[in-house]
Each structure stands twice: as C-alpha cells, then as structure tokens.
Amino acid sequence: MPKMKSNRAAMKRFRVSATGKIKREHAYANHLFTSKPRSRKRRLRQAGRVDSTDTRRVKRLILR
C-alpha cells in the first residue's frame, strides 16, 4: 500500500507550534484596509489558533 499524502493546501495554511497546537493566519487581512481600524489591523497580523474542536481534523490533513 502506498504512503498517505499530506493535504498540500492545508500544509500551506497551518503550522504546528512547539507545544503541538495548530497556528493559522487570520482572514480579512489582504486588502481594503482603509475601512478597518488600526487596532483591528494590528490584531489581524498576529497568528491565530485553530479551535480545539477542529484540531484533530486539521492534524489529520497535515500530519500524514
């Protein structure tokens, strides 16, 4: 039986932190910045975490 392949789209979107949590980028951080407050733009720069209910699903995609 051949090896299982990782989901390449998921590999580009998620990273595993040192503690094993899944990091992700925030949405709405591409364009149309003039209508967004400075504080919101600052928050969007920070990495987010995948919710615990989705962690198992995302790990299956990226850790094969």
DSSP secondary structure letter of residue 62: H
Q: How many domains does the chain have?
A: 1
Domain assignment present for residue 3? The answer is: no
Give the domain range for residue 46: 8-62
Domain assignment present for residue 2? The answer is: no
Q: Is 35 helix (H, G, I), strand (E, B) or coil?
A: helix
Q: Is 38 helix (H, G, I), strand (E, B) or coil?
A: helix
Domain assignment present for residue 1? The answer is: no
pLDDT of residue 44: 96
Mean pLDDT per 10-residue run, the chain (64 residues)?
91 94 95 96 96 94 86
pLDDT of residue 63: 84
Domain assignment present for residue 52? The answer is: yes
Q: Answer whether 0.95 is exceeded by the pTM.
A: no
Which residue is associated with the tokens 């003039």? Answer: 34
Q: Return the CATH number at 48.
A: 4.10.410.60
